[in-house]
Structure 1
Amino acid sequence: MNAPSRGSDHPLAVGVYDEPELIVTGVGAMLARSGASVEVVKVTADGEPPAVDVLLCDPIGRTMQLEEYLTRVVHRTTAPVLVFTWTSSPSNLRRSLAAGARGFVSKSASAQDLADAVAAVSRGETVAPTGGRIGAQPGMADLSAREAEVLELICRGLSNLEIADRLFVSVNSVKTYVRQIYQKIGVARRSQAVAWGLAHGF
């Protein structure tokens, strides 16, 4: 399905936020290749943002935490925000939606998948990396956003102390999260948690 336009004279306006020209041009080329009727514009982090129908942004790998960055972006625009990033872990998906994003799509997605995500978000839907609507994610075992974040860091090989430093919480809090994770996913050891996490996209 191609992204809907507002009419032949008014293509869907898609903003690409705080990205280099290469990414902006690439998004434009991908959407054009999909057959979508869109106009892609670069949106800078400073100055007044232009009026757009959907705003793409990548909150991961910035100098501030994902939630802080994304919250600032969401409050700067009336358009629905679609996270467009390389890292599509369940933890980042949940954190992005909690911070106000309306969808999440990988930069490795096909042109058609990107167009479909833009179209869905412009219609007021919320989309996942698979293109489906967000609900309970398969394999998430009812983990909270914080528990999913801790599990992702465990899978990266961080110790409890390193996780505490990264998340600005106490080591005891991390230990509590770890116990809760083990109980929810049905494991008893860290190596088992890592194996479970990697098998479920962490």
Structure 2
Amino acid sequence: MNALHVALVNDYEVVARGVVGMLRSYTNRIRVVELDLNKQVDERVDIALYDTFAGTQGDRAVVHQLAANSSIGAVVVYSWNLDPAHIAAVLRNGADGYVSKGLPASKLVAALEAIHVGTERVHLGGPNIPTVQAGDWPGREEGLTEREAEVLALITQGLSNLEIAERTHLSINSIKTYIRSCYRAISVTSRTTAVLWGIEHGFRPDRVRIEHPEPSPGTAEITVNA
């Protein structure tokens, strides 16, 4: 099989390039052909890989729009959310596949190939596949986990705890826990100083989406360049 042409869809360059780095040993099977965060997917690609880091989840308008794009062969959502009801909603929203961000690179590549040929659509790993934190994200070098970094990115974007919970499909208590552990990691004690720290350390997206209120599936999305 020829190498799959993949467009990465995420608003953070460090996250997108982290996925590229994760796939660097598989260039004979996966070729990333679009990495410009400030334009829509306009080159014919086999897969648009939608990374949910600090963005909307796969059951929202952006994935619905990607699925309607004739330049994209298949839309695959790449997420930590493993809730079966949520995954079913994502597939109903037009996604062709769903892949756990806990998969190692070899399993990610195999999952994308399987989705491309139309076999298994959902790839979550299993008891014999260790969960990994691969790729990259803002604040990793400061000791932040990807989940902590995601919450801090959403705080830096100006979202409230309730909005972050809705965006990530996590409980308010989980959000508060991530905020506390994040504050400890970056040595701040207030939301204001956390936002300032985030601005100084790359937690503002490289592309800005206007999503308040968020459009329903099928509604046009407005974007502006950062």
- TM-score, normalised to structure 1, is 0.53
* Alpha-carbon contact 1:88-1:106 (below 8 Å) kept: yes
Q: 2:113 aligns with which of 100, 114, 119?
A: 119
- Could you tell me which residue of structure 1 aligns to residue 59 of structure 2? 66
Letter in 1 for 2:59: L
Structure 1 or 2: larger strand share? Answer: 2
Matches within 5 A, 1:145-184: 156=171
* Alpha-carbon contact 1:31-1:38 (below 8 Å) kept: yes
Change (3 A) 1:64 1:94: closer
Matched, 1:83 2:77: yes
**Structure 1: gaps spanning 5 or more residues:** 133-152, 159-202
Alpha-carbon distance in 2 for matches of 1:92, 1:60: 16
- Could you tell me which residue of structure 2 aligns to residue 199 of structure 1? none
| CA deviations over 1:20-68 (Å, ceiling 9, x no partner) | 2222222222223356522113154644522111110035753688332
Q: 1:42 aligns with which of 35, 39, 53?
A: 35
Q: How many residues in Structure 1 have an aligned counterpart in Structure 2?
A: 129
* Alpha-carbon contact 2:6-2:46 (below 8 Å) kept: yes
Alpha-carbon distance in 1 for matches of 2:84, 2:106: 22
Matched, 1:110 2:95: no
- Could you tell me which residue of structure 1 aligns to residue 4 of structure 2? 12
- Could you tell me which residue of structure 2 aligns to residue 30 of structure 1? 22
Alpha-carbon distance in 2 for matches of 1:78, 1:129: 20
**Structure 2: gaps spanning 5 or more residues:** 127-168, 174-226
* Alpha-carbon contact 1:56-1:81 (below 8 Å) kept: yes
**Larger Rg belongs to:** 1
| CA deviations over 1:115-168 (Å, ceiling 9, x no partner) | 011111221234213369xxxxxxxxxxxxxxxxxxxx8x9479xxxxxxxxxx
> Considering only aligned residues, what root-mean-square deviation do their CA atoms show, in Å?
3.1
Alpha-carbon distance in 1 for matches of 2:50, 2:58: 14
* Alpha-carbon contact 1:14-1:39 (below 8 Å) kept: yes
Alpha-carbon distance in 2 for matches of 1:65, 1:128: 13
- Could you tell me which residue of structure 1 aligns to residue 13 of structure 2? 21
* CA-CA distance at 1:12 after TM superposition: 1.9
Structure 1 or 2: larger helix share? Answer: 1
Letter in 1 for 2:47: V
Letter in 1 for 2:16: V
Change (3 A) 1:65 1:96: closer
Q: Which protein has greater RCO, CA pairs closer than 8 Å, 6+ apart?
A: 2
Change (3 A) 1:20 1:124: same
Letter in 1 for 2:62: Y
Change (3 A) 1:111 1:91: same
* CA-CA distance at 1:99 after TM superposition: 0.7
